Amino acid sequence: MPDATILYEKREGVARVTLNRPAVLNAINMRMRDELWEVATAIRDDPGVRVVIFKGAGDRAFSAGADISEFGTAPSYVESRRARHQRDLWGLILSLEAPLIAAIHGYALGAGIELALCCDLRIASDDARLGLPEVGLGYIPSAGGTQTLPRHVPPGIAMQMILTGDPIDASTALRHGLVQRVVPHERLYDEAESLARSLASRAPLALRLAKRAVVNGLELPLAAGLALERRLAQRALAGGGAGLIEA
Ligand code: COA
């Protein structure tokens, strides 16, 4: 579709999801949310997807967040809450079993940084600016940010970013562990591709089980996490690492 707000491509086990509204800094409008939902569902149901890269079209932004021109346009508060519950887009992305990489350049604000926080690894270009401006708009982050951010950076840093809304630059994000690598702008996609290819060359079952052990284990007390690891390790051994996760 030529005017699609999401571009999707899959090659050799690596899927690429591009937020494609560069004229408005890839602001996430309702249509983009719908298309992201479709793509995330396709990724969930496609065992051939080994690794996913999320990125933003154009030179200026990964995404400047929710489309502010749509604020207040939902028919009612109750209706928008019902729609959110029926379609938990961010929950769906967080539940994907394949490792997800966010390649972040320029602005990553609001739902933009929150999408990146649903990913497992974040690479930023040196021009990245990451922030959560919602409170300044009389709102609070609602794509998971109040919960995901403190799981990636120290709680005080998360609190500072959420309450002040002040964006941080790439090197500060690296220092706090919000991103795992910072590269020159022109190297961003090469680095993301190379990381994705390297992960895609790993045994698929082992890759997914290892992600599951870390993601699910973070929610558990240590003893339960260790028991989870034992179960998943047995499954990896039984599957020889090469198969896919059964339900
Ligand atoms: N929703 C809708 N449109 C947006 C947008 C958003 N979140 N962010 C940027 N845009 C649009 C602008 O309206 C502008 O459109 P126009 O050219 O038709 O006027 C275009 O993208 C370029 O943005 P502009 O503001 O001119 O660029 P800038 O370099 O001066 O500022 C930002 C960049 C990111 C600082 C600024 O666009 C901004 O603050 N955006 C809103 C960020 C935000 O609050 N997001 C979270 C919402 S919860």
Q: Which amino acid would we find at residue 120?
A: D
Dig out the tokens for 99 from the structure.
Answer: 């490792």
Q: What pLDDT band is residue 3 in, cutting at 50, 70 and 90?
A: confident
> What average pLDDT does range 27-51 have in this prediction?
97
- Look at ligand 1, atom 2, and give the residue with the nearest C-alpha: 67
pLDDT of residue 243: 54
Which pLDDT value is given to residue 239?
78
Q: CA geometry: angle at 199 spanning 188 and 4, to 5°?
A: 55
CA of 26 to the centre of ligand 1 (A): 9
Does the pTM of the predicted model rise above 0.85?
yes
pLDDT category at 17 given cuts 50, 70, 90 is very high
What's the gap in Å between 96 CA and the centre of ligand 1? 30
* Exposed/middle/buried for residue 209 (C-beta within 10 Å: 0-12, 13-18, 19+): buried
Write the residue with the smallest CA distance to atom 1 of ligand 1.
Answer: 67
Residue identifier of the C-alpha nearest atom 21 of ligand 1: 24
pLDDT digits (tens, 9 = 90+) for 75-125: 665 566 556 666 899 999 999 999 999 999 999 999 999 999 999 999 999
- Measured in Å, residue 135 CA sits from the centre of ligand 1 at 16
Active site members:
114, 134
Q: Per-residue pLDDT for 2 more than 90? A: no
Contacts (Cβ under 8 Å, ≥6 apart) of 143:
66, 89, 90, 110, 111, 114, 115
Q: Cα of 112 to ligand 1 centre, how many Å?
A: 12
pLDDT at 50: 97
For 106, which DSSP code? B
**Ligand 1, from 20, 21, 25, 32: best to mutate by most atoms within 8 Å of Cβ?**
25
Neighbours of 59 (CB within 10 A): 10
- Report which protein residue has its CA nearest ligand 1's atom 26: 24
Burial readout 27-50 (b: 16 or more C-beta within 10 A, e: otherwise) = bbbeebbebbbebbeebeeeeebb
